[in-house]
Amino acid sequence: MSIDIKFTINDILFNQESLQKKNKYTCPICFEFIYKKQIYQCKSGHHACKECWEKSLETKKECMTCKSVVNSYNDLSRCLMVERAFDKKECCCIYSFTEQIVQGGTNCSPPDGASDQNQRKLIKDEENGCKEKIEVDQIDSHLINCQYKFVTCSFKGCEKILRMNSLESHQNECGFKLVICDFCKRDDIKKKELETHYKTCPMVPIDCSQGCSVKIERKSIIDHIENDCCNTQIPCKYFEQGCKVEMKRSELQNHLERVNHQTYMGILIDKLTNQVGHSKKTHDELLKKIEDLSLLIIKFSDACLKKQVLPKALDICSNGYRNKWIISNYSSLAKSKLNCKSLSSPILLILSHHFQVCVYPKGDENKEYISLYLRVNNIEEPNSLKVEYSFTLVNVLDKSKSITKRVDKIVFISPKEWGWGKFLLSDLINKENGWLSNDDKLTIEIYIKILNEEYEPLES
C-alpha cells in the first residue's frame, strides 16, 4: 500500500534561497512560495496571493503595498506569467530522501506555528532515492508514478516500509507470504513458518526410527513399523502353537526354513479344521434363518395384497361392483419421471378375479389425453371372462361435468388384454377446471360386472 508523504515546496525546490531573495516568486505578505497559489496584482503591479488579498479586502479596500484603491477582485488582474514562470522552476522528488521522512517524527510536516527550518531535516538518499529533476507543475503526476515512492508490504502481518521498485523482490522473500506445502498442499502457511510446519506435517517423508533406510510419510510410520519394517521384532508365525522365538521381520523366512515346525503346523491344522466346521454350522444356521425370513416376507406380501383390495360389499347378481378410487398428490405423481407412464390402483378382488385400474396421465399412444384402462391379472388360457364396466372421471366443482366411459361387454382371454377409454386433454386436469380437489386429489368412480361367472351350489 502506497504511503502518502506530506511535504512543502521548500523541501524539494532547488535554489530556494536565491528565489526567496528575488521576492518574485513569494507572496510579499505571507512570504510563502506561490506553489499552487493564485497570484493577483493591483493596477500598479503589486502582487500577492489570493488568500492574502481576501483577508485584506475584508477590512480595507486598498492595495497592501501602494495603498491605491481596490474595491473588489474586479479591480485586480491575475499574474499568470509569474505563476507559469514558477511552474517551470526545477525541484527534486520528495522520494529522493531517505525513509526517515515516514519513520521519523522530526521529518514529518511541522506542527502549526513551528518553524519549518528548525523542525525539518531531510537526508538525501544518494544510493536508493529518486534522482530525477522535475518542474514544479510536474510534481503531482510524477509522484503518482514514481517508482521510488514508499509502500508497505501487502502481506498480512508484515509492516516493512520499502520503495516501490524493490517491492516485488521483497515479496518474493517475505516471511509473511502465504505458501503451499509441497507435501500436504495446505495453502495458508506463512513462508517463515514453513520449516516449522514440515516438522509436524503428516505427509512429509521421514526416516524409519528403526533404521530400515526407508522413508515413510509421517502419518504412516506407525503402520509401517507394525506391518512392514524389516527391523521390527516379531514372534514366529506359530507363536500361539508353541514356538516362542522372536526375531526381526527380515529373519522370519530363514527361521521357518531352519527350524522344524511340523508339530506346530499340526496343531494349527487341527485348529483351522475346527474353525471350518464351526463356520459351516453357522452357515447352515444362517441359511435356515434366511429361508424362514423368506416365508415371512411372502406371507407379509400376501397380507399386504389383501389389504389393497378396495373394501365394498358386492352385489354380484344385479348391480356388480361399485367403488371410488381416489389418487392423492396427482399433479406431482403425473409429473414424476418414475410415475409418468402409468398409475395403478389397488387390486380389486371380484369373485376370485384380480382386477386393476390403470391411469395414463399423458395417454398411451396419444400423448395428449388422460386414459383409463381395466385389466384382469389372473386369467389362465384357454379360459375367458366377459365383463361390462364403466369409469367416471368426477368433476368436484360441478358433478354435471363429470365424464363417464362405459363398455357394455368385453371378453378378456389373457392378462395381456386391456379394456380402455380415452377421456380429455391431460393439460385440463387441474384444480381450476374442477378435476382436482384443493388438496390435489383425482377421483375415479369404478363399476365392474362379471357376465359369465358360474356359481358352485352350496352343499351341506
The C-alpha angle 21, 26, 27, rounded to 5 degrees, equals 125
- Tens of pLDDT along 124-153? 999 999 999 999 999 999 999 999 999 999
Position 106 confidence tier, pLDDT thresholds 50, 70, 90:
very low
Position 115 confidence tier, pLDDT thresholds 50, 70, 90:
very low
For the chain, give percent helix, strand, coil, nearest 5: 35, 25, 45
What dihedral do alpha carbons 314, 319, 321, 327 form, nearest 10°? Answer: -130
Asked whether 75 and 56 are in contact (CB, 8 A), the reply is: no
Across 159-166, average pLDDT: 92
Beta-carbon-side half-sphere exposure of residue 380 (alpha carbons within 13 Å): 1
Greater pLDDT, 27 or 22? 27
Q: Average pLDDT over the chain, rounded to whole?
A: 83
Percent of the chain with pLDDT over 90: 42
Number of residues that this document lists for the chain: 460
Give the chain's end-to-end CA distance (angstroms, integer).
Answer: 109
Across 324-341, average pLDDT: 78
pLDDT at 301 over 60: no
Asked whether 179 and 197 are in contact (CB, 8 A), the reply is: no
Closest CA to 260 of 281, 283, 243: 243
pTM value > 0.95: no
Residue-range domains of the chain with CATH: 9-145 (3.30.40.10), 321-450 (2.60.210.10)
Asked whether 321 and 449 are in contact (CB, 8 A), the reply is: yes
Q: What one-character-per-residue DSSP string does 241-307 give?
A: GT---EEEGGGHHHHHHHS--HHHHHHHHHHHHHHHHHHHHHHHHHHHHHHHHHHHHHHHHHHHHHH
User: What pLDDT is recorded for position 205?
Assistant: 95
Asked whether 128 and 97 are in contact (CB, 8 A), the reply is: no
pLDDT at 411 over 50: yes
What are the C-alpha distances in Å from 412 to residues 304, 316, 376, 454?
26, 18, 7, 16
Amino acid residing at 282: T
CB neighbour list of residue 70: distance below 8 Å, 6 or more residues apart:
42, 57, 61, 62, 63, 76
Asked whether 67 and 46 are in contact (CB, 8 A), the reply is: no
User: What pLDDT is recorded for position 310?
Assistant: 42
Instruction: Return the CA Rg of the chain.
Output: 52
Q: Which residues, in sequence order, are bridge partners of residue 376?
A: 355
pLDDT at 155 over 50: yes
Q: Is 176 helix (H, G, I), strand (E, B) or coil?
A: coil
pLDDT at 57 over 70: yes
Greater pLDDT, 385 or 399? 399
Across 361-376, average pLDDT: 77
**Lowest-confidence segment of 313-322, 366-375, 382-391 by average pLDDT:** 313-322
User: What pLDDT is recorded for position 309?
Assistant: 42
Greater pLDDT, 18 or 280? 280
Give the C-alpha separation, 246 to 251, whole Å: 10
Across 299-313, average pLDDT: 46
Across 141-167, average pLDDT: 93
- Tens of pLDDT along 237-248? 899 889 999 999
**Lowest-confidence segment of 85-99, 292-306, 406-420, 428-442 by average pLDDT:** 292-306
Across 323-351, average pLDDT: 81
Q: Is 44 helix (H, G, I), strand (E, B) or coil?
A: coil
Give the C-alpha separation, 325 to 366, whole Å: 24
